[in-house]
Amino acid sequence: MISRIDHVSLAVKDYEKAQNFFVALFGAVPGAFADDEHLKYHWRIFSLGDLSRLELLKSTGDGSFLENFYRRNPHGGVHHITLETPDIGHVKSVLEKKDIPFFGYAEYGDVWKELFIHPRDAFGVLIQVAEFRPDDFLDDRVKLPAGKKWSVHKDHRGIRLALAHPGGGTCEVRLTDAEAAMLMEDLKQG
């Protein structure tokens, strides 16, 4: 039902400082972003390493849906976690059968489908469950070109093999020349 945790979302008061912290200190790669005029907030996804992601949220004006969160958390903090699903309809039916309340169900075409489980029903954390194509939200620097499932690079340390991950982005493995030769033999024997 759930493929993985896609990202942890942080609501921050000083967006520029938070962005600089994660980009300059930890090498986070900025990805997709948008502003929501109705709920008055900005979001952006950041990739860290092979498969880790976080999202930064900030208020964009008075009446932002984040105001209550900031009242309870004056310095900001973890706002929600997002779980990826291959089938949001299945998640909905399971939650309904188990009498677990959810809210905010929305479909944005084929790009994004979501629902939320309130912290009172999820042990203190707001959970967003979403169906989407993870690569659509990542910068080109952290994913392979469309249709490509691997890349191989040789350098002074051996072979670097990057594989497309179903959760978006890549997973990278470093191989010595001897390990690469053993892999080639295994692939031939299939």
Dump pLDDT digits (tens) for 14-66: 999 999 999 999 999 999 999 999 999 999 999 998 879 999 999 999 999 99
pTM of full prediction above 0.75: yes
Residue 36 C-beta-side C-alpha neighbours within 13 Å:
14
Nearest to 48 by CA among 22, 86, 68, 14: 22
* Amino acid at residue number 17: K
Whether 94 contacts 83, CB under 8 Å: no
Cβ-proximal residues to 20 (8 Å cutoff; 6+ apart), any chain: none
**Whose structure tokens read 């033999």?**
185
Q: Which of 3, 1, 12 is nearest to 46 (CA)?
A: 12
Return the pLDDT at 51: 78
Domains and CATH numbers, the chain: 4-137 (3.10.180.10), 143-189 (no CATH)
Query: pLDDT tens for residues 90-127?
Result: 999 999 999 999 999 999 999 999 999 999 999 999 99
- Report the alpha-carbon distance of residue 37 to residue 23 in Å, rounded: 26
